[in-house]
Chain A
Amino acid sequence: MKVSVRDLAVSYGDRPVLSGVSLDVAAGEFVSVVGPSGCGKSTLFGALTGILDGATTTGTVTVDGGPVRGAPFGYMPQQDLLFPWRTVLDNTTLGLEVAGVSRREARARAGELFEPFGLAGFEQSRPGELSGGMRQRAALLRTVVGGREVLLLDEPFGALDALTRTGMQEWLDAMRGRYGWTTLLITHDVREAAFLSDRVVVFSPRPAAVRRVVPVDLPRPRTRAMLTDPRIAAVEAELLDVLHS
């Protein structure tokens, strides 16, 4: 397994947020986490990236069967968080610069991805000049350019309009196929989860535990036409069933 989470429990003081979450993500696999809002989905990502302050964390996280070394997780928050004081290119190099890569090399490495990410020609633009979908693509570029082994996407398309979102989902699946990313996605959109995932993990209300893992048996690449596929509909129905029970 690329990532294994075992009995992960997180609490703030005597307020538990996660209670014994276990899940696996295989290399190249796409796993979604759905759950009621406020159930602690984002806390899972916080625990994986080690940025929870003042929380008590128990349980184990392994990457490639061993303890977490270095920074294997690339985290993409819900807001694009592109900073207005940097050009789009320099926003995408931020993680590399933080890691100590020279500006010149960082720009070269990020620059290569602008074409496949559909951002060619916008390197020197300010983030404010980009559309919502482009901003999310730039944020994803910033996440993957560091060569992190596992992507953690926290409701990346939540702020987009429905039409743009569908386009972005299709695009994300194509990119995933091309680069073979191992991906963990948090979403509250069961259709998005069913459409993109190999497996969907359903969380209970807070303190969150895994209620059910629903496999999605559909070929890739996923296309818009599959949105109306009865197998997607069946997964959606099952997810909603578990969420509302």
Chain B
Amino acid sequence: MIRRLGPALLVVGLLLAVWQVAVTVSGVAPQVLPSPARVLEQGWAFRDALWANTLPTVQVTAIGFAVSLMVAWSVAVAVDFSPWLRRALTPLLVASQTLPVIAIAPLLIIWFGFGLLPKVLVIALVTFFPVAVGLIEGFAATDRSATALLRSMGASRWQRFRYVRLPGAMPSFFTSLRIAITYAVTGAIFAEYVGARAGLGIFMQLQRNQFRTDLVLAAVAVTAALSVTLFGLTYLVQRLVTPWYRGDHR
């Protein structure tokens, strides 16, 4: 663990040190650029407020990502079974990814208010595409000769899906899951930034309006920690779901 994380921690430490020294030497105002020590100190002083705003963000992220996963799985499975649906939905999938979320998010707030729904929709909108595409391509990447083997055994379309296409798509799924989950937290922050009662996004906006740059950066640090934790969790889940890839590919 230390050996794997060591280099990353060293680089982060070095960057923070350079930042600290630069701030101290230049004497720049903390409203413009606070030192990392100050961010840490003020973040700790305001830990109750930070924590109270982290929980809603985690909640929104979890719900939004769960919805996104359910939709992505449903669409990917449907598309895998029906070439007609593939042709019908693929342009829509791509279009969903080209929507300017920055323009859509305020509209969602106008339509659905400050509750959970618009935030869940923003997260689903930004994370749904990579997961769906990862799954669809994972299913489609099934070896043709594996399909031939299963068909020679008399396997139905459903059996081929269950025995070969689904397990074979897992590596591709987890890769896309990792990409999507990093979008999920930033998606939640962004949705809150546009309008929310609580959450890290709205917290950042309030602090910025009061020129508390140190607290904005403290919230950014929490966001980063959250994303990294979720990213790490995907590896854990992958090991639980697909233990076989450990023996073969490592």
Report A91-106 CB contacts with B as 1/0, cut-off 8 Å.
Answer: 0001101110000000
Question: Which residues of the other chain, A, contact B247 by a CB distance below 8 angstroms?
Answer: 84, 126, 128-129
Interface assignment of A79: CB less than 8 Å from any CB of chain B: yes
Q: How large is the interface on B (under 10, 10 to 19, 20 to 34, 35 or more residues)?
A: 20 to 34
Contact sample, A vs B, 7 pairs, CB 8 Å cutoff = A51-B148, A51-B152, A71-B153, A77-B149, A83-B146, A126-B247, A128-B247
With A49-B151, A77-B145 given, is the CB distance from A94 to B163 under 8 Å? Answer: yes
Docked pose: A49 CA to B155 CA in angstroms: 12
Q: In the bound complex, do residue A99 and residue B154 qualify as a contact, i.e. CB atoms below 8 Å apart?
A: yes
Q: In the bound complex, do residue B153 and residue A95 qualify as a contact, i.e. CB atoms below 8 Å apart?
A: yes
Docked pose: A114 CA to B150 CA in angstroms: 22
Question: Which residues of the other chain, B, contact A73 by a CB distance below 8 angstroms?
Answer: 152
Interface assignment of A46: CB less than 8 Å from any CB of chain B: yes
**Which residues from 125 to 181 on chain B have a C-beta closer than 8 Å to any C-beta of chain A?**
143, 145-146, 148-155, 159, 163-164, 167-168, 170
Docked pose: A56 CA to B69 CA in angstroms: 42
Question: Which residues of the other chain, B, contact A78 by a CB distance below 8 angstroms?
Answer: 145
Question: Which residues of the other chain, B, contact A77 by a CB distance below 8 angstroms?
Answer: 145, 148-149
Question: Which residues of the other chain, B, contact A35 by a CB distance below 8 angstroms?
Answer: none
Report A70-86 CB contacts with B as 1/0, cut-off 8 Å.
Answer: 01011101110101111
Question: Which residues of the other chain, B, contact A46 by a CB distance below 8 angstroms?
Answer: 148
Interface assignment of A40: CB less than 8 Å from any CB of chain B: no
Question: Which residues of the other chain, A, contact B168 by a CB distance below 8 angstroms?
Answer: 83, 85
Interface assignment of A146: CB less than 8 Å from any CB of chain B: yes
With A81-B146, A83-B167, A94-B163 given, is the CB distance from A75 to B245 under 8 Å? Answer: no
Docked pose: A211 CA to B148 CA in angstroms: 28
With A79-B145, A81-B143 given, is the CB distance from A98 to B245 under 8 Å? Answer: no
